[in-house]
C-alpha cells in the first residue's frame, strides 16, 4: 500500500486464463474487469481486478471483504436496506470524508463499459456512464440489458442475507431461480400466471354472483308472469275498446246522414197537418177556461184546510211526547223510594251484626289482665338476659384468644405439610421449573398429555422430566451441558413430529423443539473415548451419560447423538486441579467440575495447537434434581407430631368453653321465649282495642249514612209536581185533538167538491190538450223537423269533423282498422260491453307491475349477455392460462430437471443424497422448488428446513444448489459471501472442490467466493483467481507474493 492505497490483483501466474481455448475472451458480456473504491467504508483507495472465472476473496474478518460485495450492489442501484448494513447511502462514506466513489469496469466485446457512482453527504448521488453524466435510469437500462441481477439471492448472496436465503420458502426459491436462470421474461410469465389465475377465480366468483342475481330476477318475473299476462291482455282489451269507440262516431255520422234525409221529407208532411188541426181546437178551449176558474177557487179552500191540519197535528205530537216523558219521570221517582227502603234495611242488618261482633271483642278485652302486669315481667326478664349476655361476652373473649392462638398453630401445621408435600412431589416441582423457564414448552407438554391418543407412538418430553438425577452437582452439570435441549420433546416417527409442528408450532405459535429419534437409526453403540477406570485417579467420577437415569433408553441415545454426553466427563474437586492434564493428555474433550466447565479445541492449521476454554459453572434452575432429603423429612414429621399434640390441647380448651357458652345460650333462649310470649299478650290486648275502636267508627258511619224520611219527602214533592204538569199537558192535548177532528170533516167536504170540478176540468182540458197537443205537436214537429233538419246538417258536419279527428279513414292504417271492425252499432256496443266486462274481470293489484316486469326483463337480458361475455372471458382466461402455462412450464421443468441433475451429482460427489423437485399446486403463487437432502447413510431424504438440518448441512445444500445454477444462469457474474461458515472441514473441502470444478468451466459466469479463511491443501485450478484482502494501519509498502 502506498499513501493509503491498495491493489487487489489475482495471484495466478500470467493472464492466459483470461482467454478461452479458441482465443476468445473468457469474460462474459457484463463480467467485472475492474472495481475501484475511494473513501468507501474502510478503504481509502483500492483497485480490484478479478479474473473471468472463479475469484476467491480471502482475508481476516473486518478487513473489508464484504465491503466489496456492498460496493458491487450499490453501483448497480440496489437499496442499502437490502444489504442489512445501513439504512442510508451516506453511511457507506468513510468516516471523516464527505463523499465516496465506486467505479466498475464491465467487459463488452466492442468496448468495455464504465459505471461511476459518487455518494456525497452534501450534494447527493452522482452517476456517470463511460465518464459522462448519466441518470440512475440510464444505469438501470444498462444493468437490465447485461442481465446483472444483484437483487437476486440466487445470483448475489451477501453475508448479511445468507440467513434470509436459507429461510426462502419454496415459492420464493422458485421465483428467484426463474429470474436467475430464465431471466425476467420467465419470471414475468410466472407472475402473469399468478395474476391470470387470481383473475380467473375473481371472474368465477363474479359469474356465480351474477347467476344468483339472474336466477333471482327470473324467479321474481316467473312469480308475476301470470299477472303481467293478465295486464297485457287487459291492455289489448283497452286498445280494442278504444278502436271500437273510435268507430262509433263514423256510425253516428252515417246514421245522422240518413236521418237528415228522412227529416226533410217529413218536414213537408207536417206543415199540411198543422194547418188542419189549428181550425178544430178553438171551441173546446172556451169550455175548458170556465171549468178551470171553478177548480182554482175550490183548490184554494182545500189548501187552507190542509195547512191547519198539519199545524194542529204537529202540536198534538209535541204534547204526546211530553206526556210520555212525564210518565217515565214518575216511574223513576217511585223506583228511588223503593231503593231507599232496601238500603235502609241492609244498613240496619249490618249494624246488628257489627254490634254482636263488638260485644264479643269487648268481653274478650275485659277478661284479660292489665298490660302493666306483662310489662313488669318483661323488665325482669330483660334484666336477667343482660346478665347472661355479659357472661357470654366473657366466654367469647376467652374463646377468641384460644382460636387466635390455635390459628397460629394451624398455620405452622399447614406450612409443615406444604414443605412435606413439596419434598415428596418432585415431578410437580420440576414441572413448575419448566413452566417458569419455558412457558411455551409447558403449554405444549399439557396439550400432549391431553391429546396423547392423536400420536402414533409414544412422545417423550420435555427431556428434563424424563431424567432422574440423585446428585445436585450432577444436575448442575447436566443443566449447563444440555441447555435448551432439556426443553425438547422426542418423537419416534416423522408423522408425530409433523403433528407437533402443525398443531403446536403453526397453529398455536408455540416455540418448542421436537427431535425425531427413530429406533432403527440408533442401533450403533456410543463408545467412551477412554475407559473410566484409567482416569479416575485424576478426579473423574463418571461420564455424563451415567450420572442420571432416564425413563427410556431412547432419551440417553438422543442426548448422545446431539451432545455426545458419552464423551463428556463429570469430575470432582480433584478433577478441577487436574483439568489441564486431563484435557491435554487424555482424549477427553470436555470436562465438568464443581467450579467450571472445561472444553478443548484443536486448530486445523499449522502445528494443530490445542487451546482450552474455561466457563464458570452456573447455578441450576431445579429442572433435574429429583432426590428427597430424608433428614429434612424426619425433622418435619417430628415437628408435625408436636403441633398435632398442641392442637389437641387447644381443642380441649375450646370444647370446654363452648359447652359453657352453650348452657348460657340455652338460658338466653328460654328467657327470649318467655319475653316473646309476654309481648304477644300485650300486642293481643292492643289489637283488641283497635278492633273495638274500628267497629264503633264503622257503626256510627253506617247509622249516619242516609236520612230516609228527608229523601222520601223530597221525592214525593217532585212526584206531585210531575203529576200536576202531566194533567195540564193532557188537557192541552185533548183540545188539539178536537180541532183536528173538526178540520178533517171540513176537508172531506171541500175535497169532494174539488174532485167533481177537477173531473170536469180534466175532461175539457183533455179535449183541449188532445187537440192542442196534436196542434203543438204538429207545430213542434214542424219546427222540430225544421230545426232537426238544420241541426242535422250542422251535426252532420260536426260528426264528420269529429269522426275524422278521432279516426281519419283516409289513412291506410286507419282504414284497415275501420274495415276490420263491425259495421253495426249494436254489434259494436255489444262487443264493447263484453270487452268492458272481460277487462273489469281482469284484476291487476299493482299498475306498476308491468313496468317492473319489463325493467327486470331488460336486466335479465343484460345479465345474460354479460354472463355470456364473462363466461367467454372465463373460457378465454382459462385458455390464456393454459397457453401461458404451456409456454412457461416446459421451461421451468427443464430448468428444474437440469438443476436436479447437477444437484444430485454434487450431493453424490460429497457422499450424500439430494434431489430438487418442482412442487406444483392449484395456486401458481404456491408453486415452488423443494430441496430434499440426506446427509447420513441410515437417514431419509428430508426437505431442507431449519428445523430438521443443522446450520452446516443447510450451508452445504445451499451452496450446492447455487452451484447447480452456474451452467444455467444468464447473469454475467455471481457472488457468494461466507457461505462456508458453519461447515465442518470435510464438507468445506468437498464444497470448495465442487466450486472449483464448476465455476472454472469455460463460457460460464464469473464467480466470486468471499471467505475469511480456507483450509490447507485445497485443490485449485489455473482458472482460479485468489484476491487477498489485508487492511489496516501497519502494512508493507511493497508486496512480494
Total Cβ atoms within 10 A of residue 837: 10
Most confident of 52-61, 323-332, 562-571, 854-863: 562-571
- Spatial neighbors of 959 by CB under 8 A, at least 6 apart, are 976, 979, 980, 991, 995
Closest CA to 1010 of 1032, 978, 966: 978
Q: What is the DSSP letter of 106?
A: E
CA distance 470 to 462: 18
Q: Which segments of 224-281 does DSSP mark as H helices, in order?
A: 225-280
How many whole angstroms separate alpha carbon 680 and alpha carbon 685? 9
The predicted structure's pLDDT at residue 128: 92
Range picked from 555-564, 657-666, 815-824, 981-990 for highest mean pLDDT: 555-564
Q: Identify the pLDDT of residue 859.
A: 82
Residues, the chain: 1041
Residue 526 phi/psi, 5-degree rounding, is: -105, 110
Structural domain 5-167+946-1028, CATH architecture: 3-Layer(aba) Sandwich (3.40)
Please state, in angstroms and rounded to a whole number, the distance separating the CA atoms of residues 575 and 564: 20
Mean pLDDT, residues 929-952: 80
- Strand positions, DSSP E, 27-66: 32-40, 43-49, 54-58
CA max distance for the chain: 184
Looking at the chain, the whole-number percentage of residues with pLDDT higher than 70 is: 89
Task: Assign 524 a pLDDT band (cuts: 50, 70, 90).
Answer: low
CA-based nearest residue to 57, from 181, 162, 159: 159
Q: Given this model, what pLDDT does residue 12 score? A: 43
Which residues have a Cβ under 8 Å from the Cβ of 808 and sit 6 or more positions away?
Answer: 814
The CA distance from 740 to 317, in Å, is 12
pLDDT at residue 14 is higher than 60: no
Cα 791 to Cα 351: distance, rounded to the nearest angstrom: 102
| Torsion angles phi and psi, residue 512, rounded to 5 | -135, 170
pLDDT digits (tens, 9 = 90+) for 638-690: 887 888 888 888 788 788 888 888 888 888 888 888 888 878 877 887 887 88
Q: Would you state the cell numbers that stand for residue 656, as one nine-digit string?
A: 370446654
Q: Please give the grid coordinates belonging to residue 732.
A: 192541552
Q: Is the dihedral of CA 713, 717, 722, 724 positive or negative?
A: positive
Contact assessment for residue 979 and residue 162, using Cβ atoms and an 8 Å cutoff: yes
Q: Is residue 535 a contact partner of residue 442, using CB atoms and an 8 Å limit?
A: no
Instruction: Render pLDDT for 769-782 as a digit per residue (tens, 0 to 9).
Output: 777 777 777 777 77
Average pLDDT over all residues of the chain: 80
Q: 776 is written with which cell numbers?
A: 203543438
DSSP codes joined into one string, 148-162: --TT-TTTEE-GGGH
Q: Residue 1009: enclosing H or E segment and its boundaries? A: strand 1006-1011
More confident call, 908 vs 220: 908
Strand partners, 514: 489
pLDDT band, residue 159 (cuts 50/70/90): low
Q: Which pLDDT score, from 0 to 100, does residue 443 have?
A: 93
Bridge partners for 84 per DSSP? none
Q: In which residue are the cell numbers 221529407 written? A: 265
Q: How confident is the model at residue 954 (pLDDT cuts 50, 70, 90)?
A: confident
- What distance in Å separates the CA atoms of residue 1027 and residue 68, rounded to the nearest whole number? 11
Show the cell assigned to 464: 428434563
| Distance separating alpha carbons of residues 590 and 565, to the nearest angstrom | 9
pLDDT band at 316 (very low <50, low <70, confident <90, very high): confident
Residue 303: per-residue pLDDT: 81
Is the pTM above the cut of 0.85? no
Distance in angstroms (rounded) separating the CA atoms of residues 959 and 994:
10
Q: How many CA atoms lie within 13 A of 76 on its CB side?
A: 27
In the three-class reduction of DSSP (H, G, I as helix; E, B as strand; rest coil), residue 98 is classed as coil
Residues 933 and 941: beta-carbon distance below 8 Å: yes
| Residue 7, strand partner residues | 47
Highest mean pLDDT, choosing among 328-342, 883-897, 934-948:
883-897
CA gap 766, 288 in Å, rounded: 9
Q: Is 962 buried (19+), middle (13-18) or exposed (0-12) by CB count in 10 A? A: buried
Question: Predicted confidence band at 459 (pLDDT cuts at 50, 70, 90)?
Answer: very high
**Stretch 461-472: mean pLDDT:** 88
User: Quick one: which of 79, 74, 149, 86 has its CA closest to 116?
Assistant: 74
In this prediction, residue 382 carries a pLDDT of 82
Cis before 20 (ω within 30): no
User: How far is CA 302 from each of CA 292, 296, 752, 1023, rounded to the nearest angstrom?
Assistant: 15, 10, 10, 157
Residues of the chain with CATH 3.40.50.300: 5-167+946-1028
455: phi then psi, degrees, rounded to nearest 5: -90, 145
Cα-trace Rg, the chain: 64
* Residue 451 pLDDT: 92
Q: Is 664 helix (H, G, I), strand (E, B) or coil?
A: helix
Q: Average pLDDT, stretch 794-804?
A: 77
- What are the residues whose beta carbons fall under 8 Å from the beta carbon of 1002, sequence distance 6 or more? 20, 21, 26
3 state DSSP class of 832: helix
Please give the grid coordinates belonging to residue 111: 468496448
Spatial separation of the C-alpha atoms in residues 991 and 981, rounded to whole Å: 12
Cα 156–157–161 angle (5° rounding)? Answer: 140
Query: How far is the first Cα of the chain from the last one, in angstroms, to the nearest whole number?
Result: 14
- Angle formed by the axes of helices 225-280 and 825-841, nearest 10°: 140
All residues at 6 or more sequence positions from 515 whose CB lies less than 8 Å from its CB, including other chains: 488, 489, 490, 491, 558, 562
Q: Which residue has the cell 355470456?
A: 868
48: exposed, middle or buried (C-beta count within 10 Å: 0-12, 13-18, 19+)? buried
Hey, what's the cell of 1002? 469455460
Nearby residues of 1026 by Cβ (< 8 Å), 6 or more positions away: 10, 11, 12, 55, 56, 58, 1020
- 490, 556 Cβ separation under 8 angstroms: no
Could you tell me which residues are beta bridge partners of residue 1028? 58
Q: pLDDT tens digit string along 349-401?
A: 888 888 888 888 788 778 777 777 778 888 888 888 888 788 878 878 888 88
Q: Higher-confidence residue: 280 or 587?
A: 587
pLDDT, position 1: 34
442 burial type by CB count under 10 A (0-12 exposed, 13-18 middle, 19+ buried): buried
Q: Rounded CA gap, 194 and 1, in Å?
A: 54
Amino acid at each position: 500500500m502506498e499513501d493509503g492505497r491498495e491493489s487487489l490483483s489475482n495471484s495466478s501466474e500470467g493472464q492466459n486464463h483470461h482467454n478461452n481455448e479458441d482465443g476468445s475472451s473468457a469474460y462474459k458480456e457484463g463480467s467485472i474487469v475492474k472495481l475501484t473504491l475511494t473513501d468507501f467504508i474502510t478503504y481509502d483507495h483500492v483497485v480490484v481486478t478479478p479474473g473471468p472465472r472463479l475469484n476467491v476473496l480471502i482475508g481476516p474478518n473486518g478487513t473489508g471483504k464484504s465491503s466489496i460485495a456492498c460496493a458491487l450492489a450499490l453501483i448497480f442501484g440496489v437499496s442499502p436496506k437490502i444489504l442489512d448494513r445501513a439504512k442510508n447511502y451516506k453511511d457507506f462514506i468513510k468516516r471523516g470524508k464527505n463523499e465516496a466513489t465506486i467505479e466498475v469496469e464491465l467487459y463488452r466485446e466492442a468496448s468495455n463499459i464504465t459505471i461511476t457512482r459518487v455518494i456525497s453527504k452534501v450534494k447527493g448521488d452522482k452517476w456517470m456512464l463511460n465518464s459522462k453524466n448519466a441518470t440512475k435510469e440510464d444505469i438501470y437500462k444498462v444493468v437490465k440489458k447485461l442481465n446483472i441481477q444483484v437483487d437476486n439471492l440466487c445470483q448475489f448472496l451477501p453475508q448479511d442475507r445468507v440467513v434470509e436465503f436459507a429461510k426462502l420458502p419454496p415459492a420464493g426459491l422458485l421465483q428467484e431461480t426463474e429470474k436467475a436462470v430464465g431471466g425476467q421474461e420467465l419470471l414475468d410469465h410466472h407472475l402473469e400466471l399468478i395474476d391470470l389465475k387470481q383473475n380467473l377465480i375473481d371472474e368465477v366468483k363474479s359469474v356465480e354472483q351474477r347467476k344468483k342475481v339472474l336466477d333471482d330476477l327470473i324467479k321474481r318475473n316467473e312469480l308475476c308472469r301470470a299477472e303481467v299476462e293478465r295486464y297485457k291482455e287487459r291492455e289489448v282489451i283497452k286498445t280494442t275498446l278504444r278502436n271500437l269507440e273510435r268507430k262509433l262516431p263514423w256510425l253516428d255520422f252515417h246514421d245522422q246522414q240518413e236521418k237528415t234525409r228522412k227529416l226533410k221529407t217529413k218536414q213537408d208532411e207536417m206543415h199540411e197537418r198543422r194547418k188542419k188541426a189549428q181550425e178544430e181546437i178553438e171551441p173546446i178551449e172556451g169550455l175548458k177556461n170556465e171549468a178551470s176558474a171553478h177548480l182554482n177557487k175550490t183548490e184554494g179552500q182545500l189548501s187552507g184546510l190542509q195547512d191547519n191540519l198539519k199545524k194542529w197535528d204537529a202540536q198534538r205530537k209535541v204534547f204526546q211526547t211530553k206526556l210520555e216523558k212525564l210518565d217515565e219521570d214518575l216511574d223513576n221517582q217511585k223506583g228511588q223510594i223503593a231503593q231507599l227502603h232496601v238500603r235502609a234495611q241492609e244498613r240496619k242488618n249490618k249494624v246488628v251484626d257489627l254490634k254482636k261482633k263488638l260485644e264479643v271483642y269487648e268481653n274478650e278485652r275485659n277478661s284479660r289482665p292489665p298490660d302493666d302486669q306483662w310489662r313488669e315481667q318483661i323488665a325482669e326478664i330483660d334484666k336477667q338476659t343482660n346478665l347472661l349476655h355479659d357472661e357470654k361476652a366473657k366466654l367469647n373473649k376467652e374463646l377468641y384468644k384460644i382460636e387466635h392462638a390455635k390459628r397460629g398453630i394451624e398455620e405452622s401445621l399447614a406450612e409443615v405439610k406444604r414443605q412435606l408435600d413439596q419434598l415428596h412431589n418432585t415431578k410437580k416441582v420440576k414441572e413448575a421449573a419448566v413452566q417458569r423457564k419455558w412457558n411455551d414448552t409447558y403449554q405444549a407438554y399439557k396439550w400432549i398429555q391431553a391429546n396423547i391418543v392423536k400420536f402414533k407412538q409414544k412422545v417423550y418430553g420435555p427431556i428434563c422430566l424424563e431424567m432422574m438425577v440423585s446428585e445436585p452437582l450432577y444436575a448442575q452439570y447436566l443443566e449447563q451441558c444440555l441447555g435448551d435441549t432439556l426443553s425438547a420433546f422426542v418423537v419416534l416417527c416423522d408423522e408425530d413430529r409433523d403433528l407437533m409442528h402443525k398443531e403446536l408450532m403453526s397453529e398455536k405459535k408455540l416455540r418448542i423443539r421436537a427431535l425425531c429419534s427413530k429406533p432403527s437409526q440408533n442401533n450403533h453403540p456410543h463408545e467412551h473415548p477412554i475407559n473410566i477406570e484409567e482416569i479416575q485417579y485424576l478426579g473423574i467420577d463418571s461420564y455424563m451419560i451415567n450420572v442420571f437415569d432416564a425413563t427410556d433408553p431412547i432419551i440417553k441415545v438422543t442426548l448422545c447423538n446431539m451432545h455426545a454426553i458419552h464423551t463428556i466427563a463429570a469430575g470432582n474437586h480433584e478433577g478441577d486441579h487436574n483439568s489441564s492434564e486431563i484435557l491435554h493428555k487424555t482424549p477427553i474433550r470436555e470436562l465438568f467440575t464443581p467450579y467450571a466447565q472445561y472444553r478443548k479445541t484443536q486448530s486445523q492449521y499449522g502445528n494443530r495447537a490445542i487451546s482450552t476454554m474455561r466457563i464458570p459453572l452456573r447455578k441450576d434452575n431445579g429442572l433435574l434434581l429429583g432426590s428427597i432429603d430424608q433428614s429434612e423429612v424426619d425433622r418435619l414429621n417430628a415437628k408435625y407430631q408436636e403441633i398435632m399434640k398442641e392442637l389437641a390441647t387447644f381443642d380441649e380448651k375450646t370444647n370446654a368453653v363452648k359447652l359453657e357458652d352453650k348452657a348460657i345460650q340455652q338460658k338466653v333462649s328460654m328467657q327470649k321465649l318467655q319475653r316473646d310470649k309476654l309481648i304477644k299478650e300485650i300486642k293481643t290486648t292492643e289489637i283488641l282495642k283497635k278492633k273495638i275502636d274500628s267497629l264503633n267508627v264503622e257503626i256510627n258511619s253506617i247509622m249516619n249514612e242516609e236520612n230516609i224520611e228527608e229523601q222520601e219527602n223530597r221525592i214525593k214533592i217532585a212526584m206531585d209536581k210531575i203529576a200536576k204538569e202531566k194533567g195540564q199537558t193532557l188537557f192541552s192535548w185533548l183540545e188539539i185533538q178536537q180541532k183536528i177532528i173538526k178540520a178533517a170533516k171540513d176537508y172531506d167536504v171541500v175535497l169532494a167538491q174539488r174532485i167533481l170540478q177537477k173531473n170536469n176540468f180534466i175532461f175539457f182540458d183533455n179535449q183541449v190538450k188532445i187537440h192542442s197537443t196534436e196542434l203543438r205537436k204538429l207545430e213542434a214537429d214542424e219546427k222540430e223537423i225544421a230545426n232537426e233538419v238544420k241541426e242535422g246538417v250542422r251535426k252532420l258536419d260536426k260528426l264528420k269533423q269529429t269522426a275524422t279527428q278521432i279516426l281519419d279513414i283516409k289513412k291506410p292504417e286507419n282504414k284497415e282498422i275501420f274495415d276490420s271492425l263491425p259495421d253495426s252499432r249494436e254489434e259494436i256496443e255489444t262487443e264493447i260491453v263484453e270487452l268492458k266486462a272481460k277487462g273489469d274481470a281482469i284484476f291487476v293489484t299493482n299498475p306498476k307491475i308491468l313496468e317492473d316486469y319489463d325493467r327486470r326483463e331488460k336486466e335479465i337480458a343484460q345479465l345474460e349477455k354479460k354472463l355470456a361475455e364473462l363466461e367467454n372471458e372465463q373460457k378465454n382466461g382459462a385458455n390464456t392460462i393454459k397457453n401461458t402455462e404451456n409456454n412457461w412450464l416446459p421451461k421451468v421443468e427443464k430448468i428444474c430437471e437440469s438443476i436436479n441433475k447437477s444437484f444430485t451429482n454434487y450431493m453424490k460427489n460429497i457422499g450424500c443424497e439430494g434431489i430438487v423437485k418442482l412442487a406444483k399446486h392449484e395456486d401458481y403463487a404456491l408453486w415452488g422448488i423443494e430441496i430434499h437432502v440426506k446427509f447420513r447413510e441410515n437417514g431419509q431424504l428430508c426437505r431442507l428446513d431449519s428445523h430438521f438440518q443443522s446450520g452446516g448441512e443447510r450451508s452445504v445444500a445451499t451452496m450446492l444448489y447455487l452451484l447447480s445454477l452456474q451452467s444455467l444462469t444468464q447473469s454475467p457474474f455471481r457472488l457468494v459471501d461466507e457461505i462456508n461458515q458453519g461447515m465442518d472441514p470435510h464438507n468445506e473441502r468437498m464444497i470448495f472442490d465442487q466450486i472449483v470444478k464448476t465455476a472454472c468451466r469455460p463460457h460460464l459466469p464469473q464467480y466470486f467466493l468471499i471467505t475469511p479463511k480456507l483450509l490447507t491443501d485445497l485443490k485449485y485450478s489455473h482458472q482460479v483467481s485468489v484476491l487477498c484482502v489485508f487492511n489496516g494501519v501497519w502494512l508493507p509498502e511493497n508486496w512480494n507474493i
